[in-house]
Amino acid sequence: MELHSVSLHGHRVGLRLAGDGPVLLLVHGMASSSAAWTAAGSLLAGRFTIVAPDLLGHGESAKPTGDYSLGAHASLLRDLLLVLGHQQATVIGHSFGGGVAMQFAYQFPDLCERLVLVGSGGLGREVNLLLRALALPGAGYVLGLFCRASLDDAARTLVEWARRVGFGPTPAAEEIRRGYASLTDAPSRAAFLRTLRAVVGFDGQRVSANDRLELASDLPTLIVWGARDPIIPVEHAWHAHAAIAGSRLEIFEGVGHFPHCEAPERLARTVSDFVTSTEPARLSQQQLRARLQTRAS
């Protein structure tokens, strides 16, 4: 998965590209980047075209002072696909990226062939207490104290020592450390807080798709969750599966919040089977209008 970049609306957008075939758009979570998809994406690249962008404020993309809402991210992904010459894609989103993926499918139904939600946000209010605390005023100051380059260097040293004595970190721990490292940079930290506060408050997740999930019944949908997810409870997966007619549900036992990092082979196999066994949706604004009018009557 080679790292590239494009310029959109005056902002650099980093992205990883690989493979050939039907397009999979991989959307990472908060305080993460396209690098999180390296293992799973590399496996999927044998059958699919992989497009894994860094959302604005993350990874190698620009970190402007601006709009970090789900809608803004979804619009940028639409523009990115069009610039790359892709007409449609199966959209796969993890955590916050799942919320972006659902927003993308809602705003641009004609571009979305299928939807895959991996430990997705936006499906209920419950979320880990730490994220709720970071949404409080003044949390940015505290975050700055704990996320410093010197502490990240110490963490790297500890990880390297553990590897040498045979106690390498788990894939989930590696992803958490990468997220921590990204927050040692002040612009990235500010972008993280803007992104977080767009969807999370101290009382939980502020944005929910639950009142619109039935609209996804025309869209092949796969829901993947780790049974031991400590960030977003697995109950959200069951509720979403019940609300989306025809959806598929895969619960990964022994896996936490990062199925794509903790079990990349299983995730790649699950996604590949889902894509190859379903027909891509051919939705339009007219179909969406008809469904909304039916609900309004």
The pLDDT tens digits for 38-82 are 999 999 999 999 999 999 999 999 999 989 999 999 999 999 999
| Residue 257 annotated among the catalytic residues of the structure | yes
pLDDT at 167 over 80: no
Burial 70-107 (b: 16+ CB within 10 A, else e): bebbbbbbbebbeebeeebbbbbbbbbbbbbbbbbbbb
Q: What is the pLDDT of residues 232-249, one digit of tens each?
A: 999 999 999 999 999 999
Which of 61, 95, 120, 188 is an active site residue?
95
| Contact between 131 and 108 (Cβ < 8 Å) | no
Identify any residues that bridge with 52 across adjacent strands, giving them in sequence order: 16
Which domains, ranges and CATH numbers included, belong to the chain? 2-127+205-296 (3.40.50.1820), 130-199 (no CATH)
Known catalytic membership, residue 95: yes
Q: Mention every residue, 6+ apart, whose C-beta is less than 8 A from residue 281.
A: 109, 112, 113, 114, 218, 219, 220
Mean of pLDDT over the chain:
90
- The residue annotated as part of the active site, out of 229, 241, 247, 260, is 229
User: How confident is the model over 93-145, as pLDDT tens digits?
Assistant: 999 999 999 999 999 999 999 999 999 999 999 999 999 999 998 888 878 77
229 is catalytic: yes
Residues 3-31 have a mean pLDDT of 97
Q: Can you give the pTM of this predicted structure?
A: 0.91
Residue range 268-295: average pLDDT? 88
Whole-angstrom Cα Rg for the chain: 19
28, 236, 241, 257: which is the annotated catalytic residue? 257
Q: Which two tokens stand for residue 35?
A: 């690098």
Is residue 3 within 8 A of residue 14, CB to CB? The reply is yes
Q: Is-contact 93 99, C-beta < 8 A?
A: yes
